[in-house]
Structure 1
């Protein structure tokens, strides 16, 4: 049993509770949380590790959607338009993957840890990132991704998907959790969707999928028109989409932990269905901006009571995997939101909501949750508690201490 105390405890619980001069009792899980006076009186025989002045303890950040296999990209890919970007990914895919060695991905994960991330939802297209994720102390929900829209290749693609998923299942432990990703409605044949989701449902695996990320995708899925028409004709000889958005969503029933990423072009009917499915939306604001897509309308999510979590996406469409960088970008992008109030919403989205999206027992500093904590120091005293969450986002680049599963890492 250990106790750590700080100037402020940000619980990120259901009520966004903040404790001034607080302390946390923990081992692998959180045992108790309260004011320092309360904890001293209740646990008189346990030594307390006191953090410095202007210190904060909060849950570790949860990056609910990240791609690691393109981590070698810096200046190679084309931004500013979704189709231009997609063509550049296909053209440079082999080169970028070859450079993204286990060593490089491990370095990126290490930096993520230093910037406060303690859990990730890693979307893996080829499983080339499996070894690095397995070695990292960061908790990984490892989404083996299925992709392919050609009917005559469906059996082969499904066999490959199952083999990669089985490899992930063999590595399963308390910090490496296999899961299933359906790439998107435009890129996965209905047979592959059905069989992959059946497998996920039978084995109680979390599921995630990209959904309506761009105007080009919207035009293709609804009308078989737009830039995607030339793309699919050139690469796959297809002139019609393999599924429609609502047909796609209707296949995701009976999945306990479900998330959809982007959803910036989702209709009201789509959002109603996502709410009905009990899903979370992974918000990747920087990626949306890099590819010149729309920003997610958070007011509509509020209207449908759909929670959102936060992901960085990958370095194929971002220049940073730091969640604090992503949080600052969110603050600056959603200009219709009050910066003080929105900061509280964002910290909860980056912790509790991410945990819910990935099916984890983390993201809150409350009893019986996993003891994944980060310790931060602000440059000066915060005079108004109401400004605390905003100042954490504005001023934190690296954390002082990272604790995962009760251990300093």
Structure 2
């Protein structure tokens, strides 16, 4: 067993507890958490690693939604609205995928680790990121994605998806969990959704899906109008959407670990359905700003938990969760900054863990020992300011502990 202590322990537990001058005893799981003086009395024969002044110990960050296969993008893709971006992705897809080899993706994963991420929900369209994910020490929930709306291609698309999922399952381990992604209601045929979700239920796999990310998607799915009319006619020979939003959501019943990403154009009725499904919402504010010029209305979520994701470098300039947290904090300017910062740390830890069915994201007994440490630039007088100051000032972390091991 190891023990580490810090000036501040941010637990991200049910009560948002903060322990001043605290310590954590752990092996692969957290065995005890208390004040340093109490831990010293309980474990007099175990050496304690004491972190320096203004130190913080908290759960590792959980990036619930990230695409790695387009990590070769910097200035290539077009931003401003979703339809322009989508066309630029199609135009440059092959070049960007070729750029994002395993070496490049591993370098991005390593930088994510240095910026405090210990767990990712990786959305994989082609499994070109599989090798890098397997090699990385980060915890991965690897979402094999299915996409396709053409009825005459269903068998081929489903066979390809099952092959990719089967390969991913060969690498299953305590830090690599195979999972399923349904791309979106506009891009996946209902038959494929049903058959894929049947697999998820049979094997108890986590599931995620994009949902109502853009105005263009909203107009197409609700009215068969807008920019997507041209897109689907030109590329797929379709003049009508294959499903409607509520029809799509109705297919997701009885999925244990379920999340929907973006939801910026979702209605109150949509959110009521998402709530009854027991799902979470993955919030990717930077991507939404660059592609859609709007953001998720958190007020509509009510009791639906939300998580934080960076999306990919196709629609973000950073995969750092602290960068993303700063952007979320600044974007939702209607929220009380102190209260909202505390909520955001939970969204980036315990909420992400629960969305993917993990035992992480909190400094609590019997949780996995995934932790990060860093130092703030100066002292904190009031602990109610701590979450906000962490988000404002942290760019890199000093120590990363995954499964009880320093990595």
- Coarse TM-score class (shorter-chain normalised): over 0.9
What does the per-residue CA deviation read over 1:209-240, in whole Å, with 9 as the maximum and x for residues that have no partner? 00000011000000000001111001001000
Please give the secondary structure, in 2, of the residue aligned with 1:375: strand
What does the per-residue CA deviation read over 1:53-80, in whole Å, with 9 as the maximum and x for residues that have no partner? 0000000000000000000000000000
Say which of 381, 384, 394 aligns to 1:383: 381
Q: Partner of 1:37 in structure 2?
A: 37
What is the CA-CA distance between 1:316 and the residue it aligns to?
0.2
What is the CA-CA distance between 1:261 and the residue it aligns to?
0.0
Alignment of 1:349-360 (within 5 A): 349-360=347-358
Contact 1:215–1:293 (Cα < 8 Å) also in 2: no
What does the per-residue CA deviation read over 1:223-262, in whole Å, with 9 as the maximum and x for residues that have no partner? 0000011110010010000000000000001110000000
Q: Partner of 1:58 in structure 2?
A: 58
Measured in 1, the distance between the counterparts of 2:202 and 2:318 equals: 36
Alignment of 1:117-128 (within 5 A): 117-128=117-128
- TM-score normalised by structure 1 residue count: 0.99
Measured in 2, the distance between the counterparts of 1:241 and 1:186 equals: 6
What does the per-residue CA deviation read over 1:284-335, in whole Å, with 9 as the maximum and x for residues that have no partner? 0000001134200111112xx0000000000000000000000000011000
Alignment of 1:64-143 (within 5 A): 64-143=64-143
Q: Partner of 1:306 in structure 2?
A: 304
Please give the secondary structure, in 2, of the residue aligned with 1:220: helix
What does the per-residue CA deviation read over 1:176-211, in whole Å, with 9 as the maximum and x for residues that have no partner? 000000000000001100000000110000000000
Measured in 2, the distance between the counterparts of 1:45 and 1:329 equals: 44
Measured in 1, the distance between the counterparts of 2:85 and 2:79 equals: 5
What is the CA-CA distance between 1:170 and the residue it aligns to?
0.6
Q: Partner of 1:285 in structure 2?
A: 285
Contact 2:215–2:292 (Cα < 8 Å) also in 1: no
What does the per-residue CA deviation read over 1:114-139, in whole Å, with 9 as the maximum and x for residues that have no partner? 00000000000000000100000000
Q: Partner of 2:170 in structure 1?
A: 170
Please give the secondary structure, in 1, of the residue aligned with 2:145: strand
Please give the secondary structure, in 2, of the residue aligned with 1:137: coil
The ranges of structure 1 where at least 4 consecutive aligned residues each deviate by more than 2 angstroms after the TM superposition are: none
Q: Partner of 2:332 in structure 1?
A: 334
Q: Partner of 1:22 in structure 2?
A: 22
Q: Partner of 1:233 in structure 2?
A: 233
Measured in 1, the distance between the counterparts of 2:191 and 2:372 equals: 43
What does the per-residue CA deviation read over 1:6-29, in whole Å, with 9 as the maximum and x for residues that have no partner? 000000011100000000000000
Q: Which runs of 5+ in 2 are unaligned?
A: none
What does the per-residue CA deviation read over 1:118-168, in whole Å, with 9 as the maximum and x for residues that have no partner? 000000000000010000000000000000000000000000000000000
Measured in 1, the distance between the counterparts of 2:227 and 2:333 equals: 30
Please give the secondary structure, in 2, of the residue aligned with 1:209: strand
- Superposition RMSD on alpha carbons, in Å? 0.5
Measured in 1, the distance between the counterparts of 2:172 and 2:126 equals: 17
Residue 394 (str. 1) matches residue 392 (str. 2): yes
Contact 1:6–1:55 (Cα < 8 Å) also in 2: yes
Contact 1:213–1:293 (Cα < 8 Å) also in 2: no
What does the per-residue CA deviation read over 1:83-120, in whole Å, with 9 as the maximum and x for residues that have no partner? 00000001100000000000000000000000000000
Q: Partner of 1:267 in structure 2?
A: 267
Q: Which runs of 5+ in 1 are unaligned?
A: none
Please give the secondary structure, in 2, of the residue aligned with 1:291: helix
Q: Partner of 1:150 in structure 2?
A: 150
Q: Partner of 1:343 in structure 2?
A: 341
Measured in 1, the distance between the counterparts of 2:163 and 2:300 equals: 39
Measured in 2, the distance between the counterparts of 1:395 and 1:363 equals: 21
Contact 1:207–1:255 (Cα < 8 Å) also in 2: yes
Please give the secondary structure, in 1, of the residue aligned with 2:278: coil
Measured in 2, the distance between the counterparts of 1:300 and 1:163 equals: 38
